[in-house]
Structure 1
Amino acid sequence: MSALEANPSDTATRQKVLTAATALAGAFNSASSQLSKISTSLNQQVSGDVSQINSLTSSIASLNSKIASTSPNGDAGSLEDQRQEDIDQLSQLVGLDQISTSQNGISLTTSGGAVLVSGDQSFQVSTTQVAGNTDVLAGDPPQDVTSNLSGGDLGGALQARDQYLPTYSAALDNLAFSLGTAVNQQNELGVDSSGNPGLAIFSLPGSATGSAATIAVSATSPGAVAAASAGEGSSGNGNATTLADLSTTNVVGTQTATGFLASFLDQVGSDASSVTTENATQQTTLTQLTTHRNSLSSVSSDEEASNLTQYQRSYQAASQVFSIVDTLMASAINLGEQTTVA
């Protein structure tokens, strides 16, 4: 708002402030919408993963039955190889615990304990809608096991959806509400171009929740920008100066708006870096174990493959959010400039 400080009576300058405010509100709306789209995509991924899990567990149970009828005198090598391929694919979808049983059978549970395969039986998992999210059911009777699932593409999708995205969404809501409230309160302390007390620039909900999705500019004309302070006349710039100072004022707790965004970017970057590091570690371990497994059948690389896939899915979500927040920061900085520079 620096330009307004230098030209408080100029209608075009006031309009630029409203235009910048509209762009900022739009950036918040867009960021919220993009987070929702990421969540929707992750929910679709959960449904797709569940379908693939059921297909693979059915195949593994069928192969268990065929291997049992072939053993101990027949050669079940090709069947066992096919079963291992299915288990490898399954481990990329969800974290597994594997138990060898009689007649060369294999039982599988999720790392959280839900039974997927026992002998020649497979136990289907299903999905249900809970508060707009696709959750996972397992067992008889079916129970929600979403919070107990980890590893693989499914675990990564759930981690991104249930841990990262709510944190990021709450941060955006907090910023939109805090910044919008600060601008509104300061504008209401000033005088508009007609000499009347200023009104709110932004429309906001009653609390931070949902603010990023719903924030909008409520001012309808350039004259609504209260550049003057009370008592100095409508052509003054006292309130414009204070509005401009909001760019360096702690309006989000103990942080400025841009400082908060910078911290937010740091957090998203840290999340992405963390999963990248874990990804690299698991990739190295997976390569080593896969090499060993060619000669040592007792060595399993399934857990490492599962973890690797989980980290890749989580990284994809974090990297998308980083780009969203970076765009939002540019809009916030532009609003400050329109109130400060001539």
Structure 2
Amino acid sequence: MSLLSQIAFSGLRAAQTGLSTSGQNIANVNTPGFSRLNPVQVSLGGQGGLSAGGGVEVSSIRRLSNDFQNRQLWRATTEQSYFNGTQQYLTALEGLMSGEGSSISVGLDQFFAAVSEASSTPGSVALRQQVFSEARNLAQRFNGLGSNIDSQLSALQEQRQAMVGEMNGLSRNIAELNRQIVEAQSTGGDTSALRDHRESLVKDLSQYAGIRVNETPDGALTVAFDSGQPLVAGTSSAQLTVTRNAVGEQVMQLAFAGTGFPLDLNGLGGSLGGIQDVEFGQLRPQLQALRDMAGQMAQKINDTLATGFDLAGNPGQPLFTFNAASSTQLLSLSNLKPEELAFSDTAGESGNNKVLLELLDVRSQTITLNGSQVTLSDAYAGLLGQVASASRQNQADLKSATTVVQQAKAQRDSISAVSLDEEAVNLMTYQQAYQANMKVISTANELFDAMLAAF
């Protein structure tokens, strides 16, 4: 009877392990990144040809995780984060440039409308004051838009600095988990929770840049940028730093194992790659185009006024002052009085509007912007169109990337996530097995007692 009891006790232990495993899975049903566990049972052989066997043994508790699906999820997360990081700035830039209160097109319309109204009575001080006021408003629109784009650039650079800090922290934590997993695995310890935590950190890291991940035989992960620069190798992690170059642009350095080298920010992917591309693909080019537009417009208006005379018969003076070195004060008005606007092409003729008409004609003249000859209104419309088009395409790409992430997560969860329905069935199965093995033990005891009573 001892063999029967031994078999039943082994089944009892296996059922207990199964119940504990299901309990752990159910307890962590809402734990982010948790991979469900499954006990692996093997049958034990008996001794002799007539032996039914030696019972059952739980050889291991398997962590259900698929490396391929994890990598798919990490890559999809990188792609989604790229478009998500880009979209926040494109949306803000598009809304800013198209806003009624900041649109350069609206400012140009109002300025030239004031010029047109003054052309009928060029000597009117009130109408000259209106031209002066609209010129000031137009300059403020240029300055306001330039200031807002500059603020976006500053916010973007602060975000990049914060991302680098997050990446450094994640890399350090992954390296520390590598150490703990290697130590636990070498002594046969449980590494399931440590591996779950490490995979969760790798997923967080994949938000910031495209990464490659490989596991070494000792259980440690090696993590590197897609371009090959290392982030984590065993228990060592890289240190990223952000500095500025001579023109105020941010550059990144990567230090690993005592060696430092520059990191190319182009093609990084993830949030870092997204803000890099929006900075040099949209924000800086738009700011430069705005600067070029303001400078050429001011030059044309000033050159036109320089050919005329004011109400006192004095030669024309510039209306605008252009500051190419500033993003927030691109244009300012010269220290003029309305009477000093040179609208006449002949000294002493207050009713002469020849220069005023030439000033009105500036609206239809072309400037050079991004290699093309366009009018002032078309130039700004083109800039706004570029931003709107980029924003629409990015939104479509973000939508597609989000769908891919959802699919990748569903595939990962189909293997690794906890199903309460499945665990409920498992609990019932293990409970029935437990009770059945208890019945076998009870039967073995009854037979043993009966045998003793026979003597």
Task: Mark yes or no: TM-score above 0.5.
Answer: yes
Residue in 1 that maps onto 2:276:
158
Judged with a 3 Å threshold, the aligned counterparts in structure 2 of structure 1 residues 284 and 141 are, in CA distance, closer, same or farther, namely same
Q: CA deviation at 1:34?
A: 1.4
Q: Say which of 216, 233, 252 aligns to 1:101.
A: 216
Please name the residue that 1:226 is paired with.
342
What is the aligned partner in structure 2 of residue 282 from structure 1?
401
Q: Match for residue 327 of structure 1? A: none
Task: Report the TM-score, using the length of structure 1 for normalisation.
Answer: 0.80
Find out whether 1:248 has 2:367 as its counterpart. Answer: no
- The answer (yes or no) to whether the contact 1:190–1:197 under 8 Å persists in 2 is yes
184-193 or 208-217, larger mean C-alpha shift? 208-217
Q: Distance in 2 between matches of 1:144 and 1:24?
A: 43
Letter matched to residue 59 of structure 1: N
Q: Deviations over 1:241-269 (max 9, x none)?
A: 12112222223452111110000000111
Q: Distance in 2 between matches of 1:296 and 1:243?
A: 72
Please point out which of 140, 144, 155 is paired with 1:30: 144
Separation in structure 1 between the aligned mates of residue 388 and residue 182 of structure 2, nearest angstrom: 50
In structure 1, the partner of 2:308 is 190
Counterpart residue number, 2:296: 178
Paired positions, count? 295
Given the alignment of the two structures, is residue 75 of structure 1 paired with residue 193 of structure 2, yes or no?
Answer: no
Counterpart pick for 1:259 among 372, 378, 399: 378
Aligned partner of 1:200 in structure 2 is 318
- SS of equivalent residue, structure 1 residue 137: strand
Compared with structure 1, are the counterparts of its residues 267 and 148 closer, same or farther at alpha carbon in structure 2 (3 Å cutoff)? closer
Q: Which one has the largest radius of gyration?
A: 2
Q: 1:181 offset after TM fit, Å? A: 0.7
Report the CA distance between 1:282 and its aligned residue.
0.9
SS of aligned partner of 2:252: strand
Paired letter, 1:159: D
Give the structure 2 partner of residue 55 of structure 1: 169
- CA distance in 1: counterparts of 2:319 and 2:328, whole angstroms: 15
- Give me the identity figure in percent: 26
Query: Could you tell me how far 1:292 is from its partner in structure 2?
Result: 0.8
- Change over 3 Å in CA distance of 1:46–1:24 after alignment to 2: same
1-structure distance, mates of 2:350, 2:260: 68
Please identify, of 212-221 and 109-118, the stretch whose mean Cα deviation from structure 2 is larger. 212-221
Alignment-derived partner of residue 120 in structure 2: 6
What is the CA distance between 1:296 and its match in structure 2?
Answer: 5.3
Distance 1:24 1:225, change over 3 A: same
- Which letter does structure 2 place at the counterpart of 1:46? R
Q: TM-score, normalised by structure 2?
A: 0.61
**Which 5+ residue runs of structure 1 have no aligned equivalent?**
298-342
CA distance in 1, matches of 2:219, 2:327: 58
CA shift at 1:234, angstroms?
A: 2.7
Q: Secondary structure at the match of 2:318?
A: coil
Residues 1:86 and 2:193 are matched in the alignment: no
In the alignment, is the contact (CA less than 8 A) between 2:320 and 2:334 conserved in 1?
yes
Aligned partners of 2:290 and 2:145: how far apart in 1?
8
Q: What is the CA–CA distance in structure 2 between the aligned matches of 1:157 and 1:32, rounded to whole Å?
A: 19
8 Å CA contact 2:313, 2:347 repeated in 1: no
| CA distance, structure 1, for counterparts of residue 118 and residue 169 of structure 2 | 63
SS in 1 for 2:239: coil
**Distance in 2 between residues matched to 1:20 and 1:126, nearest whole Å:** 47
SS for the counterpart of 2:374 is coil
Letter in 2 for 1:68: V
Render the CA deviation track for 1:217-243: whole Å, top value 9, x for unaligned: 114100122222237823211211121
Query: 230-239 or 83-92: which moved more?
Result: 230-239
Which SS does the other structure have where 1:213 is aligned?
coil
The alpha carbon displacement at 1:44 in A equals 0.8
Counterpart-to-counterpart distance in 1, 2:328 and 2:138? 10
Q: Does 2:415 match 1:293?
A: no
In structure 2, the residue corresponding to 1:230 is in which secondary structure? coil
**CA offsets 1:122-163 (integer angstroms, 9 cap, x no match):** 111112122323322103432221434622222222222233
